Amino acid sequence: MIRDITFVIVTHNHAEYIEQCLKSCTKSLESVNGEIIVVDNCSTDGTKELLKKFENQITIIHNTHRMGFSANNNKAIRLAKGRYIFILNPDTSFIPHVVKGLLETAKQIKNLGLLAPQLIYSDGNIQPSCRRFPTLGSFLVRRTPLRFFFTNSKQNAKHLMHDQIKEDEFKVDWVLGACMLIPREVLNKIGLFDERFFLYVEDIDLCYRIHQAGIDVVYTNKYQIMHHHLAESDHKLLGKKSLYHFNSMIRFVLKYKLKYNYLGV
């Protein structure tokens, strides 16, 4: 049966957050016709036990071996029956009317490729989640030791689109993959997530392909999603997650033959 929306959540050891996320999703199903698909990527922290509480309300895919974020999302999307795919991080939560509002908004936007709500931290502050596309220059100042010198720079602010924030909906280059509402017909047109990106940058790549197809990535301030934003790749410059991010960004730069423009954009 065709649904209006499919929630897609990939989790690996998110026991601290996944229950609240799923409560938000299941509550939303009281006002929208949808389904929830969760891919558990070999969690070992009690996540599997928490998922059992929702087994009558969600579809659970238990991996037998670790897979990349793109591959896990694709696994769920291929099973999805929704006209819209709602990609969610497991460390997100929201009030029920948000999903209904996002769906209504999405249906009103012409040439929509992707719609993203405003993300907020757990303390209520706004999380910068819409960005300009990276260049070799922005890669250098954000993913190398140079980032410690450019954190509060004009270049970094421009990359984070601080100069472009407007009211309601507006077009952007790309958005964080923590929360993305995508029409299924768009994925049918441009393809699913590129599985060569094991972790990180798959959201930039997807948005880049949406732009290449001549359709729009739209950000809205009207609806908010709380995102704890673990930012695991930012904690250690040479940590495993940081290296994943570095490698993925190199792959993106090479894939699209991006050139050096100017620092911070």
pLDDT of residue 244: 87
Is residue 234 scored above 60 in pLDDT? no
pLDDT of residue 11: 98
Give the Cα separation of 7 and 155 in Å (integer): 35
Distances in Å between the Cα of 105 and the Cα atoms of 81, 193, 233 are: 20, 24, 32
Asked whether 169 and 109 are in contact (CB, 8 A), the reply is yes
CA count, 13 A, side-chain hemisphere, 258: 21
Amino acid at 246: F
CA 166, distance to chain mean position in Å, is 21
Q: For 125-129, 161-165, 192-196, 248-252, which range has the lowest pLDDT when averaged over its residues?
A: 161-165
| Average pLDDT over the chain, rounded to an integer | 89
Query: Which among 27, 19, 7, 25 has a CA at the least distance from the CA of 43?
Result: 19
